[in-house]
């Protein structure tokens, strides 16, 4: 007789667990539905505000015209390599001109290149010293290869902490 009394309790407890599971499932479905609704309405609002913004009479900014190497060079300072390196803190942010030979391409994508360049000891000769700079160039107009001779105007970013050479961001570069 005792076994018959325990069986209905187990059945009632099992039914209560199923009821909780159903309620929990319905709650989750309701939350997902609410989230989807909010996402859709926000997307529609975003789309309509973008359409309003594009149809307004606001003018878009004009892109800065591309400057030539010679235009950049006329603004560049003539700082000898040794001074650029030894007085790096004072020279940081200055625009400089150098000529050199590409010694190594460290990283390259379609729009960015990091290269090591042996700089010329004298702008009029093709004698390259062992002095190197690391160049960072975005939106590269043409592919640069190892051993190419390049003239460039760049901004001094600082010193590469590992190799102790100047790091420069290129403003204009010409492959000779």
pLDDT at 85 over 90: no
Is 5 in the same domain as 53?
yes
Mean predicted confidence (pLDDT) in 47-71: 59
Mean predicted confidence (pLDDT) in 74-90: 87
- For all residues of the chain together, what is the average pLDDT? 76
Name the CA dihedral angle for 145, 149, 153, 156, rounded to a multiple of 10 degrees: 70
Among 28, 60, 54, 69, residue whose Cα is nearest residue 175: 69
Is 80 in the same domain as 45?
no
- pLDDT single digits (tens) 38-57: 766 665 555 554 445 444 44
The CATH number linked to 164 is: 2.40.50.140
Is 142 in the same domain as 165?
yes
Q: Which of 60, 81, 108 is the last residue of a domain?
A: 60
Is 130 in the same domain as 152?
yes
Task: Work out whether strand 128-138 and strand 166-175 pair parallel, antiparallel, or are unpaired.
Answer: parallel
Is 56 in the same domain as 84?
no
Full residue range of the structural domain in which residue 40 is found: 1-60
pTM of the model: 0.58
Q: Where would I find the beta strands (DSSP E) of the chain?
A: 95-108, 112-120, 128-138, 149-159, 166-175
Percent of the chain past pLDDT 70, that is, above it, reads: 69
Is 81 in the same domain as 145?
yes
Number of domains in the chain: 2
Is 86 in the same domain as 145?
yes
| 163 CB burial (10 A radius; 0-12, 13-18, 19+) | exposed
């Amino acid at each position: 007789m005792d076994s018959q009394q325990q069986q209905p309790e187990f059945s009632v407890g099992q039914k209560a667990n199923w009821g909780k599971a159903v309620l929990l499932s319905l709650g989750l479905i309701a939350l997902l539905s609410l989230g989807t609704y909010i996402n859709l309405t926000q997307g529609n609002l975003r789309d309509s505000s973008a359409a309003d913004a594009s149809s307004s009479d606001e003018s878009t900014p004009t892109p800065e015209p591309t400057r030539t190497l010679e235009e950049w060079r006329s603004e560049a300072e003539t700082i000898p390599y040794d001074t650029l390196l030894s007085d790096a803190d004072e020279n940081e942010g200055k625009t400089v001109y150098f000529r050199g030979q590409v010694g190594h391409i460290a990283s390259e994508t379609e729009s960015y290149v990091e290269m090591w360049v042996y700089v010329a000891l004298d702008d009029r000769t093709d004698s390259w010293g062992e002095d190197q700079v690391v160049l960072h160039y975005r939106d590269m107009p043409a592919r640069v290869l190892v051993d190419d001779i390049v003239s460039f105007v760049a901004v001094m970013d600082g010193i590469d902490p590992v190799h102790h050479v100047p790091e420069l961001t290129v403003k204009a570069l010409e492959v000779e």
